[in-house]
């Protein structure tokens, strides 16, 4: 990942984790806890693609595994968010632009359901049966509901920040210089004008040289 992606992703993940632990987890809502960290991973996966989404998801999940008051095995949520980030990145369109808000909302629903089921499945493999006592159906329903309520306020904002961070002034400058940018036609015209000026200068120089040569021949004839 590029440096601007790493810095932006780290800042967004840390802010989301702090808000989730210090605010959302203390609301004591029935069922699951609203997963703001998951929404950040979903939004970045829709912009960065499957590779970037997997890396962001793994880093965010590992940070959540190590941050207090985590009471589960380290690496469990990292695996879940890594898989979710990769799967979300596969839904990213080739142009990188989403035409409607329906696709992100559907992706949020799928991510909420998939992450809850995957987290419970990994927990059952390591001997954590907390999901059975709480009720897996209730967890899936409440997690999906809470994430859907938070998604309109978080996913578009994170995606906008990620897209803004993708703009590279150096790359844009090189594209414009090559005539591929939005003002490439203006640059190409100026380049053509420069070439024409150089050609005109060369022609003018040849003309001056020819005149000088003619004057030289005249002086030579007078000397003879």
Among 8, 77, 75, which Cα is nearest to 43's? 8
Is it the case that residue 211 has pLDDT exceeding 70? no
Would you mind telling me the total number of residues written for the chain in this entry?
Answer: 224
Listed ranges 27-31, 64-68, 112-116, 161-165; the one with the highest mean pLDDT: 112-116
Is it the case that residue 218 has pLDDT exceeding 60? no
pTM for the model stands at: 0.71
Give the list of residues 6+ apart from residue 133 with CB closer than 8 angstroms, or none: none
Q: Which helix (H) or strand (E) holds 180?
A: none
Alpha-carbon distance of 17 to 25, in angstroms, equals: 10
User: How far is Cα of residue 211 from the mean position of the Cα atoms in its chain?
Assistant: 63
For residue 92, what pLDDT is reported?
Answer: 81
Q: Hunting for tokens 């329903």 — which residue is that? A: 141
Contact (CB, 8 A) for 29 and 41: no
pLDDT over 70 for what percent of the chain?
Answer: 67
């Amino acid at each position: 990942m590029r440096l601007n992606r790493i810095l932006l992703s780290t800042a967004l993940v840390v802010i989301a984790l702090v808000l989730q632990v210090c605010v959302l987890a203390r609301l004591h809502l029935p069922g699951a806890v609203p997963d703001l960290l998951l929404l950040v991973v979903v939004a970045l996966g829709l912009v960065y693609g499957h590779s970037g989404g997997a890396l962001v998801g793994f880093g965010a999940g590992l940070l959540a595994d190590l941050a207090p008051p985590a009471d589960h095995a380290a690496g469990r949520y990292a695996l879940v968010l890594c898989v979710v980030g990769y799967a979300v990145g596969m839904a990213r369109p080739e142009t990188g632009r989403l035409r409607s808000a329906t696709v992100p909302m559907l992706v949020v629903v799928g991510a909420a359901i998939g992450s809850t089921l995957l987290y419970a499945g990994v927990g059952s493999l390591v001997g954590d049966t907390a999901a059975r006592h709480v009720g897996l159906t209730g967890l899936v329903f409440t997690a999906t509901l809470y994430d859907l309520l938070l998604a309109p306020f978080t996913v578009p904002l994170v995606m906008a920040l990620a897209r803004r961070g993708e703009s590279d002034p150096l790359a844009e400058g090189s594209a414009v210089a090559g005539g591929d940018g939005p003002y490439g036609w203006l640059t190409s015209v100026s380049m053509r004008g420069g070439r024409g000026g150089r050609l005109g200068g060369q022609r003018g120089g040849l003309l001056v040289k020819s005149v000088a040569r003619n004057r030289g021949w005249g002086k030579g004839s007078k000397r003879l």
